[in-house]
Amino acid sequence: MKNFDYEVIVVGSGAGGAMAAYTLTKAGHKVLLLEAGRDYDPKTETPMFQTKGQAPLMGASTKDKDFGFYDATVDGGWTVPNEPYTTGENTEFLWWRARMLGGRTNHWGRFALRFSEHDFKAKSRDGLGADWPFDYPDIAPWYDKTETLVGVCGTNTGLDDMPDSSIGVLQPPPKPRVTELLISAAAKKLGIATAPMHRAVLTRPKDGRQACFYATNCGKGCSVGAAFQTTTSLLPMAKATGNLKIITDAMVRSVDVDDSGKVNAVTYIDKNTGKDIKLAAKVVILAASACETARLLLNSKSKHHPDGLANSSGHVGRNLMDSTGASLGAHIPALEGRPIYNEDGHTANHLFIPWWGHKQHAKGELDFPRGYHFEISSGFKEPSSSLNGNFQGYGKQLKAEAKKHFGARITLALRGEMLPNEHSYMEIDDKVKDKWGIPVVKFHWQWSEHELKQIAHGLKTAKVILETMGASFSQPLPSPEKAILKGGQIIHEVGSTRMGACAKDSVTNQYGQTWDCPNLFIMDAGVFASNPHKNCTLTIMTLAMRNSTWLAGQLDSSTNPIKAWES
């Protein structure tokens, strides 16, 4: 690059890529960042104040806009023009991509829960899946640093599934809604605790970002920077150092190697011209998302890496996991006709139900491993294209009926842990290529009995909680097979390039450094050794900060860092 002598190439501008770029540039290192999507400026492009009534079809989901007309994701979703993917026999899998600067951080729910000691060493307790190659105390200080930088609101609860942050790290959470207090009272009767959701939304101003004013949907993006996304925080802060250059519309085709098999270049397609551009690379960080990074590695074959780059273990593309998802909702008579007031808050639930079953697991009282949590959907919300309830009549009668039921429905959405299995993985489909001639991904997917039993337990628990609040159900619960959402539908894909303590059964070490190529790093959710029930973005950023800090130290330690790493 003319007039920019970079040391590190980062692929991807979402949670992992932006954090890596921020950490390295703050440490004084020159970074070139490649983003497959277009440039995006949330300060000018975010439709914060547009209502569903102003949108086509009342903002209903469409193939082009899966989360509604005003969702922040542009040029992306589960269907991306010119970028197909295929699925194996009996497979239903949805692959979400955000082709824009900032990636998925422009859209995500901002739930920011720490993984706990239970999550990092689960195999040591139940013999399933894989342990992470470090313990919770190793990562805890980095969680503090990330939460402080990002701006996370919440409280320390002392619950065994919610590790405490250091004093002063968390910003104050918003107050619970009336509906959430009712849920909390009902759950307490069943011995289940609720807690403030930890969320990457500012309740106090920070670093030029404004505090949330509880008026718009975070899914639209946030032009004031209250709801965290890399386009209003990490990327501008990294650019301010003078050490970052960003190239958008750069579709990376391959990571290339020299005659000895070591990484020495990245080749990308300029989507505006269609031309291939090859950039020399001293160090490469892949943070394109778990599946996109694995796709890139599998497509980067050479005589030195015939099965794909960094794939001597055969684990690239394997161990693919997503969160489980299911929901149960009901009308709560006690909430009918209550006075209508502003109950917006910071869009999502202020309280949630964290996993409470670690002691039950230890006693062998559950028929499934690991855990789940419940996210709460409730309160007075902007009407959509569909109305809840089978309303009768028209005119004043219909209006009165709708007003009576407004805000009286509560839904509990389950998000749970999936274990890796041999039937859930991704590979390259050489028979199909995207617009740029790059072979696409073929997904294989199957939920195991572990996940189906978890869903059954969750539905029964949700039903009891809702009934305790006065709900009634005229129909039996759906079967777990029908209730569970499709793979990829929760958009928490992880594990496809997992880290470990041994090169035989993992792709990277604990720092995201690939075993096969010392100057190639992975800093997205692909490195996850397991997929705890919590949203993965906070941990992606925390690992990227920790691992990039380690990398910066390696770059500082020698004029020839590759030798330093190998020694």
pLDDT tens digits for range 469-526:
999 999 999 999 999 999 999 999 999 999 999 999 999 999 999 999 999 999 999 9
CB 530 within 8 A of CB 122: yes
62 domain-assigned: no
27 CB-contact burial (10 Å; exposed 0-12 / middle 13-18 / buried 19+)? middle
Kindly state the tokens that stand for 411.
């839904």
Contacts with 160 (C-beta within 8 Å, 6 or more apart), sequence order: 116, 118, 358, 359
pLDDT tens digits for range 83-127:
999 999 999 999 999 999 999 999 899 999 999 999 999 999 999
Q: What is each CA distance from 322 to 277, 282, 443, in whole angstroms?
A: 34, 33, 13
pLDDT value of position 565: 42
Distance CA 267, CA 253 (A): 6
Task: Say whether both 263 and 303 belong to one domain.
Answer: yes
439: β partners? 433
Select from 460, 483, 506 the last residue of a domain: 483
Distance CA 75, CA 66 (A): 11
Distance CA 108, CA 386 (A): 23
Contacts with 10 (C-beta within 8 Å, 6 or more apart), sequence order: 17, 20, 21, 24, 31, 32, 33, 34, 285, 287
66 domain-assigned: no
Predicted confidence (pLDDT) at residue 389 exceeds the cutoff of 70: no
Q: What are the strands, taking DSSP E only, across 146-249?
A: 195-196, 244-247
| SS3 category, 47 | coil
CB 165 within 8 A of CB 148: no
What confidence tier does 224 reach under pLDDT thresholds 50, 70, 90? Answer: very high
Q: What is each CA distance from 135 to 99, 121, 352, 478, 542, in whole angstroms?
A: 34, 7, 26, 38, 14
CB 451 within 8 A of CB 321: no
Task: Say whether both 362 and 308 belong to one domain.
Answer: no
DSSP calls for 266-287: EEEEETTT--EEEEE-SEEEE-
146 domain-assigned: yes
pTM (2 d.p.): 0.96
Task: Say whether both 364 and 459 belong to one domain.
Answer: yes
Q: What is the mean pLDDT of the chain?
A: 94
The number of distinct structural domains making up the chain is 2
pLDDT tens digits for range 418-431:
999 999 999 999 99
Task: Say whether both 127 and 15 belong to one domain.
Answer: yes
Distance CA 238, CA 245 (A): 9
Rounded to 5, what percent of the chain is helix, strand, coil? Answer: 30, 20, 55
pLDDT value of position 393: 75
pLDDT tens digits for range 20-70:
999 999 999 999 999 999 999 999 999 988 988 899 988 888 988 999 999
Distance CA 536, CA 534 (A): 6
Task: Say whether both 260 and 121 belong to one domain.
Answer: yes
pLDDT tens digits for range 340-361:
999 999 989 999 999 999 999 9
Distance CA 449, CA 482 (A): 14
CB 497 within 8 A of CB 130: no
Task: Say whether both 373 and 511 belong to one domain.
Answer: no
247: β partners? 34
Q: What is each CA distance from 153 to 73, 164, 205, 412, in whole angstroms?
A: 24, 13, 12, 22
Task: Say whether both 432 and 330 belong to one domain.
Answer: no
Task: Say whether both 292 and 347 belong to one domain.
Answer: no
CB 501 within 8 A of CB 527: no
Select from 432, 462, 483 the last residue of a domain: 483
Task: Say whether both 317 and 235 belong to one domain.
Answer: yes
552 CB-contact burial (10 Å; exposed 0-12 / middle 13-18 / buried 19+)? buried
pLDDT tens digits for range 139-191:
999 999 999 999 999 999 999 999 999 999 999 999 999 999 999 999 999 99
Task: Say whether both 442 and 531 belong to one domain.
Answer: yes
Predicted confidence (pLDDT) at residue 284 exceeds the cutoff of 80: yes
Pairing assessment for the beta strands 250-257 and 263-270 based on DSSP bridges: antiparallel
| SS3 category, 161 | coil
Domain that holds residue 394: 159-226+324-416+448-483
CB 200 within 8 A of CB 110: yes
Name which residue leads in pLDDT, 4 or 155: 155
pLDDT value of position 386: 59
Kindly state the tokens that stand for 216.
């718009």
Task: Say whether both 353 and 390 belong to one domain.
Answer: yes
Residue owning tokens 């949700």: 462
509 domain-assigned: yes
Phi-psi sector, 240: left (phi>0), alpha (psi -120 to 50), beta: alpha
Task: Say whether both 116 and 261 belong to one domain.
Answer: yes
Range from 429-433, 447-451, 563-567 carrying the lowest mean pLDDT: 563-567
552 domain-assigned: yes
Kindly state the tokens that stand for 377.
């959907």
251 domain-assigned: yes
Question: CA 520, 525, 528, 531: dihedral to nearest 10 degrees?
Answer: -170
Distance CA 352, CA 374 (A): 6
Residue 250 φ then ψ, to 5°: -115, 95
Encoded amino acid at 468, one letter: T
226 DSSP assignment: -
Residue owning tokens 């950039």: 279
48 domain-assigned: no
pLDDT value of position 381: 84
Distance CA 101, CA 12 (A): 8
What confidence tier does 558 reach under pLDDT thresholds 50, 70, 90? Answer: low
Q: What is each CA distance from 68 to 82, 137, 349, 472, 543, in whole angstroms?
A: 21, 41, 19, 31, 32
- The CATH number of residue 133's host domain is 3.50.50.60
55 domain-assigned: no
Contacts with 491 (C-beta within 8 Å, 6 or more apart), sequence order: 96, 104, 108, 322
